[in-house]
Structure 1
Amino acid sequence: MSYAPFDWIDDAARRRADAGLVRTLRPRPSAADVLDLAGNDYLGLTRHPEVTSAAAAAAREWGAGSTGSRLVTGSTALHAELERELADFCGFEAALVFSSGYAANLAALTALTGHDSLIVSDAGNHASIVDGCRLSRAAVAVVPHADPEAVRKALRAHCGRALAVTDSVFSVDGDAAPLSALADACRENGAALLVDDAHGLGVLGEGGRGALAAAGLAGGEGIVATLTLSKSLGSQGGAILGPAHVIGHLVNTARTFIFDTGLAPAAVGGALGALRLLRREPERAAGAGRVAAALYERLTAAGLTAVRPEAAVVSVRAPSAESAVRWAADCRGAGLAVGCFRPPSVPDGISRLRLTARADLTDEQIAFAVRTVVATAPVSVS
């Protein structure tokens, strides 16, 4: 009998198809063809001329790639500028730029914990946090979603080094973490608090300075933030912000910093251009929130079930994974791109469409998006 080592892959593919969970890659359409509410371009800066010009200028000066890891040849003067300006903008002492937000979360969780540590992680945290917990070698306690008392109890039961980790804004439903209460629980038990502010930067806080700034927690000795440059800043990459001695520790110990190729200069330049634009036009942050509120109010008024947004994510419930896929496809066919979240991406098993608000949307575009989602909705949710 011959042995086929990958037969199990075909079996797994059949099970995914039967469950309606097959994922496919699709090229992103031109902005002229589809209104994009599926991406995370919260401030509408990805195609902004000032941002794209900054990216192009960086590529011309420093090259298409960074040529090596940050500790060898992958750091440029532009990387250092971005780190200084990010830290200053968000209210932290220092920052460190990574090739992605995913790599930043892996770095923070593995380098700031260890086999003798405890990580307390919210059940709704992003996959990059889940993977960082798995790689950390620490004991991990997964607690109920947005439950500071559960975090407090888990920390109280542990003797030794500990860290609590949470998204600031959860990517599935767009709800915000109770950061002040979580910080209190950590402070009472001598634990650090790590906050992934990917969906808060550029949307929350004064002028878009982020969820930690909004909560008055930015710059605290026991506070570390991770974020992405690929959402509100319209570029690509990630960063960790915190006390200078924490950032120095990461430079020397974080494997996804030491052994990864540095972020490409064009991405650094684009992010820096977007950050400087946001400093000059802080009203963009409030604009994203207004658009999210308008989408929520109009969709719920039409009879759909949506979660009230606390930042720029609007989540609309679907009756099943299969119907969510069809709904998103029908929206795309009508000229509207929306996200489709279903198991295993959603921990509660509830499938959703996810619309991401953009500060640059016109009222006509908002009205078109609402009409399209409502008109294509499965009968059982309308």
Structure 2
Amino acid sequence: MQEELKQLEQKSQLRSLHETTILENGWILRDGKKMLNLASNDYLGLSERFNKTNVTELIEEEEPISSSLRFGSTASRLIVGNDPIYREFETQFASFKGTEDCLVFSSGYMANVGVISSIIGRKDVVFSDRLNHASIIDGIILSRAENKRYRHRDVEHLEYLLKKVDLNQKKLIVTDSIFSMDGSVAPLKQLVELKNKYGAMLMVDEAHSGGIYGMKGQGLVHALGLTDEVDILMGTFSKAYGCYGAYIAGDSILIQYLMNKARSFIFTTALPPINIAAIKQNWCRVKSENWRQKLLLEKSAWFKQQLQSRGFNIGESESQIIPLIVGDNKKTMEFSTLLQEKGVAAVAIRPPTVPEDTARIRFTIMSSHQDEDLKKVIEYIDEVGECLKVKK
């Protein structure tokens, strides 16, 4: 282990933990230093409100749903962990997503791993975008299905692979809606066409589009009018919703099947009821305060334009996730360190999280960021980029 850690350090791939406290308006304390947070997934700034929300008030607001919003559920939902607040929320959220039913999981990782490994097996085939999240990849590995990876967003390559598979074989196409390290958007309409043409199931991970796209934040699939065409909708409450947990939405047969087959649902303690109450509160804010989404997308577009106009490579970003691609691991770490010295939380993303020679700073915009703060960040990035000669 020690030898492997040394090798990671030599390749500038060694990771470590940093103490972080969330403040307000997009600021954090990182290792005791105040920094503008451009590294989290708190896109709508909703996690900030729980720093000053009185827990007693939260419980009192949810009193009609559950008489005791506890901090521990004590068991899996199939044993005695299924507080009434769960089913109440899942029914409401399914209606919001436009599906028959919904099932809450403890995390996005557990949702993807549990769902994929339960709905396909050894004799089946899964088609996965090369840049899909690690949780999707791990779910495929656990399923033991044949894994065919198609080039990023390349529907022609996907169709080529689909043509080579027996028409009667069970097939699953799985993709992120917005790719977490690139900010690019999946070609969902074309994927639906291929799914129908070749008799496959389609699963879309909306972790980074849920709460942001759609009139009330239903997600990118809903915004494109494709809800009825996607078999499995997955999303998280840990990003735009500012809480913790995940969900699978689909028809009632799918949800009943997962209750009986998804090991990451069956064999884990349920989320605390107080957590579900917090999710519900922030979900209501997302639906009623769509000015947050509008601000986020406006600020993101401005930030991308500023980086591009200064000659930085932001790849194919079309969202609030904006990579500044540096390439070299060591130089990326230097870029990150210099920005943090200037008070900008800009975290370096290196292989194996991203492909070799594409190390980057992953910027994520929040609706709560102040315009004057973002302008200063652009100036800092420009200064560091000139110093390190990191431009196209």
Q: 1:270 to 1:369 in 2, by over 3 A?
A: farther
User: Is contact 2:326-2:359 (8 Å) kept?
Assistant: yes
Q: Which string of whole-angstrom CA distances, capped at 9 and with x for unpartnered residues, describes residues 303-358 of structure 1?
A: 32223532210111114111212222222222211232110000354011011111
- Report the 3-state secondary structure (helix = DSSP H, G, I; strand = E; otherwise coil) of the residue aligned with 2:94: helix
2:350 aligns with one of 342, 349, 354: 342
Q: Is the 8 A contact 2:195 2:201 kept in 1?
A: yes
- Residues 138-153 of structure 1 mapped to structure 2, 5 A cutoff: 138-153=145-160
Of 229, 235, 238, the residue aligned with 2:237 is 229
Amino acid at match of 1:20: S
- Cα distance, 1:264 vs. partner? 2.2
Show CA shifts across 1:336-382 (max 9, x none).
Answer: 11232110000354011011111122211221221222223352214
Matched with 1:36 is 37
After superposition, the C-alpha distances for 1:118-157 in whole angstroms (9 at most, x for unaligned) are 1001100000001000000211111111111222222232
Q: For the structure 1 residues 370 and 189, does the alpha-carbon distance in structure 2 shift closer, same or farther, using more than 3 Å as the test?
A: same
For 1:301 and 1:140, locate their aligned partners in 2 and report how far apart those are by CA, in whole Å. Answer: 40
Does structure 2 conserve the Cα–Cα contact (< 8 Å) formed by 1:307 and 1:316?
yes
Question: Shift in Å at residue 216 of structure 1?
Answer: 1.3
Alignment match, 1:178:
187
**Cα 1:10–1:244, aligned 2, differ >3 Å: closer, same or farther?**
same
Q: How many pairs were matched up? A: 373
Q: Which amino acid aligns with 2:278?
A: G
Counterpart mapping for 1:298-337 below 5 A: 298-307=306-315, 309-337=317-345
Runs of at least 5 residues in structure 1 that lack an aligned partner in the other structure:
1-8
Gaps of 5+ in 2: 28-33
Aligned to 2:6: 14
Alpha-carbon shift at residue 191 of structure 1 (Å): 0.5
Query: Which stretch of the first structure deviates more once superposed, 274-283 or 73-82?
Result: 73-82
Determine if contact 1:121/1:164 at 8 Å carries over to the other structure: yes
Distance, in Å, in 1 between the alignment partners of 2:74 and 2:22 is 30
Which stretch shows the higher mean deviation, 49-58 or 282-291? 49-58
Map of 2:370 onto structure 1:
362
The answer to whether the aligner puts 1:48 opposite 2:49 as a matched pair is yes
What is the alpha-carbon distance in structure 2 between the residues aligned to residue 369 and residue 93 of structure 1? 45
TM-score by length of 2: 0.90
Matched to 1:28, the amino acid is T
Counterpart contact for 2:304–2:322, Cα < 8 Å: yes
- 1:195 alignment partner in structure 2: 204
Structure 1 residues 268 and 51: CA distance shift in structure 2, 3 A: farther
- Structure 2 partner of 1:63: 70
Amino acid at match of 1:17: E
Q: Determine the structure 2 residue equivalent to 1:101.
A: 108
Partner AA of 2:221 in structure 1:
L
Deviation (angstroms), 1:30? 4.4
Q: What code does the residue aligned with 1:368 have?
A: K
Residues 1:116 and 1:209: Cα distance change in structure 2 (over 3 Å): same
Cα separation, 1, equivalents of 2:341 and 2:21: 11
TM-score by length of 1: 0.92
Q: For 1:261-307, what per-residue CA distance to the aligned partner results, in whole angstroms no more than 9, with x for missing partners?
A: 11122322221111101111123222211111111111222232223
Partner of 2:214: 205
In structure 2, the CA distance between the partners of 1:181 and 1:215, relative to structure 1 (3 Å rule), is same
* Per-residue CA distance 1:10-31 (angstroms, 9 max, x = gap): 2211111111110001111442
Find 1:219's aligned residue among 209, 228, 239: 228
Partner of 2:122: 115
* Structure 2: distance between partners of 1:342 and 1:63: 39
Instruction: State how far apart, in whole Å, the 2-side matches of 1:84 and 1:278 are.
Output: 18
Deviations 1:165-220 (A, max 9, x none): 00000011100000010111011111100111101111222232111112211133
**1:276 corresponds to:** 284
Equivalent residue for 1:6? none
8 Å contact from structure 1 (residues 51, 271) kept in 2: no
For 1:41, give the aligned amino acid: D
**Kindly tell me: are residues 269 and 368 of structure 1, through their superposed partners in 2, closer, same or farther at Cα, counting changes over 3 Å?**
farther
Match in the other structure for 1:3: none
Native 8 Å contact 2:211 2:218 kept in 1: yes
Q: Distance in 2 between matches of 1:22 and 1:60?
A: 47
Name the aligned partner's letter for residue 370 of structure 2: T
Change (3 A) 1:235 1:78: same
Could you tell me how far apart the structure 1 residues matched to 2:52 and 2:338 are? Answer: 32
Number of the residue aligned with 1:251: 259
* 8 A contact 1:93–1:219 mirrored in 2: no
Change (3 A) 1:51 1:135: farther
Q: Secondary structure at the match of 2:4?
A: helix
% identity of equivalent residues: 31
Per the alignment, do residues 49 and 70 of structure 1 end up closer, same or farther by CA in structure 2, a change over 3 Å counting? Answer: same
Q: Does 1:165 align with 2:174?
A: yes
